[in-house]
Amino acid sequence: MNSTAASIGHESHGHHGPVLQYQPGLPLSRGKLIMWLFLSTEIMFFAALLGSYVVLRFGAAVWPKPHHVHLSEPIGAFNTFVLICSSVTVVLALEAARANKRSLAKTWMLVTLVLGSLFLGVKAYEYSSKFDHGIYPWAPRGRIYERPDLYYGSAVRARLSDPAILAKMKELDARPEGELSDAELTGRRRLKQVRDMVNNPNQQAFDLAV
């Protein structure tokens, strides 16, 4: 007879109800369970992100080079290395704290703080180049149509084949500029840019568009 059964039998003979002991369904602590749930959400997030990239990448006739979208591969690789190093140093700081080595834990935390500050500094430099080109998080999504590029070329190609749009484009092309308003002139110019780009999907068209 095990100890649990013995305690139940002893309590029942003592004119008390049976003592039930709770056994968790999973042999995991709460911390481990929460961490595994967090990792599961990260896996789902990055699977969707990378899957979307693969679909867009292989569905585009031409893909821009990194420098065309204001990215620097060496700087990005360096910042990734800094991020990985900061993850290592914070783990070392935690291990030192568990071993009651305060000075070593403080040292590793200081190194982590320096690496984190360096990471944010590099990100600020990267985003400054985007800000110089007028790319802001709060900018309306419609700004992409002000400077057409090949990201949405495959989508507008189908729209350009619509009979109503083709008729409107022919009408704008046939009318002299003196009869067109400023909005119509701007629309005709942008439609011509988009039409030339999607009809000639090559790197030169992308360079001219951006």
What confidence tier does 202 reach under pLDDT thresholds 50, 70, 90?
low
Asked if residue 178 is part of any domain, the answer here is: yes
Decide which of 89, 119, 139 is a domain's last residue.
139
Q: How many CA atoms lie within 13 A of 81 on its CB side?
A: 6
pLDDT tops 90 at residue 41:
yes
Q: CA distances (Å), 110 to each of 90, 116, 156, in order? A: 9, 10, 52
Asked if residue 196 is part of any domain, the answer here is: yes
Condensed to tens digits (0 to 9), the pLDDT of residues 138-173 reads: 765 545 544 444 445 555 555 666 666 677 777 777
What confidence tier does 93 reach under pLDDT thresholds 50, 70, 90?
very high
pLDDT tops 70 at residue 91:
yes
Question: Within this chain, do residues 102 and 134 fall inside the same structural domain, yes or no?
Answer: yes
Question: Within this chain, do residues 119 and 174 fall inside the same structural domain, yes or no?
Answer: no
Number of domains in the chain: 2
| Residue 130 pLDDT | 75
Question: Within this chain, do residues 169 and 190 fall inside the same structural domain, yes or no?
Answer: yes
Asked if residue 118 is part of any domain, the answer here is: yes
Question: Within this chain, do residues 90 and 128 fall inside the same structural domain, yes or no?
Answer: yes
Question: Within this chain, do residues 167 and 134 fall inside the same structural domain, yes or no?
Answer: no
Question: Within this chain, do residues 157 and 97 fall inside the same structural domain, yes or no?
Answer: no
Residues 180-193: what's their mean pLDDT?
A: 74
Question: Within this chain, do residues 104 and 146 fall inside the same structural domain, yes or no?
Answer: no
Question: Within this chain, do residues 157 and 118 fall inside the same structural domain, yes or no?
Answer: no
Asked if residue 95 is part of any domain, the answer here is: yes
Asked if residue 79 is part of any domain, the answer here is: yes
Question: Within this chain, do residues 184 and 154 fall inside the same structural domain, yes or no?
Answer: yes
Q: What does the alpha-carbon distance between residue 3 and residue 93 come to, in Å, rounded to a whole number?
A: 42
Question: Within this chain, do residues 121 and 162 fall inside the same structural domain, yes or no?
Answer: no
In terms of pLDDT, which residue wins out, 60 or 197?
60
Asked if residue 11 is part of any domain, the answer here is: no
Residues ≥6 apart with Cβ < 8 Å to 4: 21
Residues 80-105: what's their mean pLDDT?
A: 94
Question: Within this chain, do residues 126 and 79 fall inside the same structural domain, yes or no?
Answer: yes
In terms of pLDDT, which residue wins out, 19 or 12?
19
Tell me the percentage of the chain whose pLDDT exceeds 90: 30
pTM equals: 0.48
Residues 28-41: what's their mean pLDDT?
A: 87
- Are 148 and 192 in contact by the 8 Å Cβ rule? The answer is no
Asked if residue 81 is part of any domain, the answer here is: yes
What confidence tier does 186 reach under pLDDT thresholds 50, 70, 90?
confident
CA-nearest of 199, 112, 114 to 156 is: 199
Asked if residue 112 is part of any domain, the answer here is: yes
Residues 177-202: what's their mean pLDDT?
A: 70
Decide which of 124, 139, 154 is a domain's last residue.
139
| Residue 6 pLDDT | 46
Decide which of 108, 139, 170 is a domain's last residue.
139
Question: In the 8-state DSSP scheme, what is residue 99?
Answer: T
Domain that holds residue 170: 142-209
| Residue 148 pLDDT | 46
| Residue 135 pLDDT | 72
| Residue 180 pLDDT | 74
Structure tokens at 72: 């620097």
Tell me the percentage of the chain whose pLDDT exceeds 70: 62
pLDDT tops 80 at residue 94:
yes
Question: Within this chain, do residues 132 and 188 fall inside the same structural domain, yes or no?
Answer: no
